[in-house]
Structure formats: C-alpha cells, structure tokens
Amino acid sequence: MMLTIPDVLDPQRLRQCRQALEQAEWTDGRATAGHQAVRAKRNLQLPSDSPLAAQLGEAILEALSRHPRYLAAALPLKVVPPRFNRYEGGGEYGDHIDNAVFSVPGTPHRIRSDVSSTLFFSDPDEYDGGELMVQDTYGEHRVRLPAGHMLLYPGTSLHRVTPVTRGTRYAAFFWTQSLVREDSQRALLLELDDAIQALAVQVPDSPELQRLTGVYHNLLRRWAQT
C-alpha cells in the first residue's frame, strides 16, 4: 500500500524546519549506508547524533501523533526517530530495499521496518530530478510531493531516488513498526476504516455502523502484534 499523507506540518512549522535544514551542517550520507547500499548512495545527511535532527524529528513525531490519516494507515507501534537528507548536484540513491530492522541510536531498542516514510521539505518546482521511485505489484511509481506532504510505502519495496540535476531536495525519512505486520492486512483495515468514517457522516444513526466498527476491531485484535 502506497499512500500520501498531506499537510503533516503546518505552514509555520514547515517554514521553521526548512530554514533550519538550509543552515545545518551536513555530512556524507554514505556513513550510514550498509555494505550494499554504500555503492548506490550519493547524498548528504544530518549526523545521527545531531541535536538539530533530534529537535526536528520530535516535531515531526509530535505532529504525526495527532494526524488521523497516518495513525489509521500505519497503525504505529514503534517509530525510528526521523533522519534527514539533502540531494543536489547529481546526488542520488540507487535501487535498494531498506533494512528489515533498525537500532535506535543511544538505546538498546530495535524496530522492524514495516512502513517506510518520506516527508518532503522541498516543493517540486525547486529542483529537477529527485523523484522517489517505488516498485510494487502494480509497477513503478514516480513520486514528487509538495513540501509538508509525506509518502507511506511498504518497507519491503524496492525504491530509489533519481539524480537531482537542479536545486536542492530536502526530506526526512524514517520507519514505523506497525501493530499489523502484513501490508495487505493494513490496507484492508484502512479501507474498512474509511468506509466506517464515510457512513458515520452519511447515516450517523445507522445500527450497522456499530457492527462494522466491531468487525474492524475484531480484525485488528486478530492481527495486532504488540
């Protein structure tokens, strides 16, 4: 399941984050790449121990904790603190699949990467190239979202970032361990939840709403892993 989460950050917070990223000190992104990925990765990242990365990451997670669309789609159990990258001057990241498990820096915790997320801090007209290319069972998808919008996609997906040939592409990226491990089950729950929300507006007094809500929670109870 691929899904756009709109307006993760309000305009003021988005502007503050963007200004901070423009003034930040960046390091070679290959420092955090695995043995295979290091040959495909050519970008800049904020250091994992950067106080700025921690501050901006907390702002993103706080916003997502109140975003109903993210909560309904990802069903988050644990989240890897957001990281930040910068692409320019031909920078790219070739085909790769994200690690299955990530360690949380400075802690003994490990998180399974069920859902990958990319939050854009640059508008599409600010740069050329830099498309996030994600492959799934329906083919390859080319994604360039407005600043403040985020893409969710399965952590199992083969994906890449095409070369940025003009301007600068800023983004945050992170992973979520979901209460529901299987992507197909999360997609089914989201579709059911969307239908329940629509019926609640159209026929708020229908007794069938209670039954459907019960079906949703019984499926979640059956599939959830805590």
Instruction: Report how far Cα 148 is from the mean position of its chain's Cα atoms.
Output: 12
User: What is the per-residue pLDDT across 37-63, written as a single tens digit (0 to 9) for each?
Assistant: 667 789 999 998 899 999 999 999 999
Residues with Cβ within 8 Å of residue 177, at least 6 apart in sequence: 76, 77, 78, 79, 111, 112, 113, 114
Q: Measured over all CA atoms, what is the biggest interatomic distance in the chain, rounded to whole angstroms?
A: 59
How does strand 44-45 pair with strand 27-28?
antiparallel
Neighbours of 88 (CB within 10 A): 18
Q: Which positions make up the binding site for 2-oxoglutarate? A: 169
Partners of 192 in the β-ladder: none
- For residue 184, the model assigns a pLDDT of 96
CATH number of 3-178: 2.60.120.620
Mean pLDDT of 174-182: 98
CATH topology of domain 183-223: DNA Excision Repair, Uvrb; Chain A (4.10.860)
Specify the pLDDT at position 106: 83
Domain ranges of the chain: 3-178, 183-223
Q: Which residues are annotated as a binding site?
A: 96, 98, 159, 169
| 120: three-class secondary structure by DSSP | strand
Whole-prediction pTM: 0.94
- Side by side, the strands of the sheet bearing 92-96 are 41-42, 92-96, 159-161, 132-136, 139-143
Binding residues for Fe cation: 96, 98, 159
pLDDT at 76 over 80: yes
